Amino acid sequence: MSVKVDHVILKDQNLARVSLGGVLENDEKALAELSIPATLDLHLHLEQLRGINSLGVRAFVNWSSKLKNPKIMIHDAPKAFVDQINMVDGFLPAQARMRSFYVPYYSEATGEETQVQFTIGINFYLYEGQWKFFFPEVHDSRGNLMSVDVQPERYFRFLNKMK
């Protein structure tokens, strides 16, 4: 399944909303053909994005490197997208800022996994130049406490590019 791209231009609100879904896995023509007016703020919604491979990374970098929008807000970034931000220099333009992303949690007792949305101002915020985090308590189906299933110092590293 290739990526699904939806977008809407709201000129009266000075913004463009782009949603990516499916798997970003090829030199995606739909993404390459997507043109967003540079004067608008861009809100990139990723809640339906299920994965990204090396060809998808290249397609995304080629597209995003051309963005000149004054603000680029990333919403609901899945772990696969966050991993690419951490691994690929220049994956996002300098003006990009994270509004929300998902953090994987795991239960040792049941083997259950879940994704928890972290939202700026609620679960993470910038204080005196440092990112601070609030990790919510998450319980599995049997009431057992689940733990964060990433190394926070590595996973949250991408935020340092967004101060």
CATH code at position 41: 3.30.750.24
Please list the pLDDT of the chain residue by residue as tens digits (163 residues).
466 777 788 877 899 999 999 998 876 688 888 888 999 999 999 999 999 999 999 999 999 999 999 999 999 999 999 999 999 999 999 999 999 999 999 999 999 999 999 999 999 999 999 999 999 999 999 999 999 999 999 999 999 988 7
Do 88 and 159 reside in the same domain of the chain?
Answer: no
Contact 52, 24 (CB under 8 A): yes
Instruction: Specify whether 84 is located in the same domain as 12.
Output: yes
- Asked if 71 and 128 sit in the same domain, the reply is no
Residue 6 shares a structural domain with residue 60? yes
Please tell me the predicted confidence (pLDDT) of residue 25. 86
Q: What is the domain extent for residue 131?
A: 104-163
Q: What is the pTM of this model?
A: 0.91
Number of domains in the chain: 2
Where a domain ends, among 98, 116, 138?
98
Same domain assignment for residues 109 and 82: no
Q: Which amino acid is at 83?
A: D
pLDDT of residue 151: 97
- Indicate if 86 and 136 belong to the same structural domain: no
- Distance (Å, whole) CA 6 – CA 47: 12
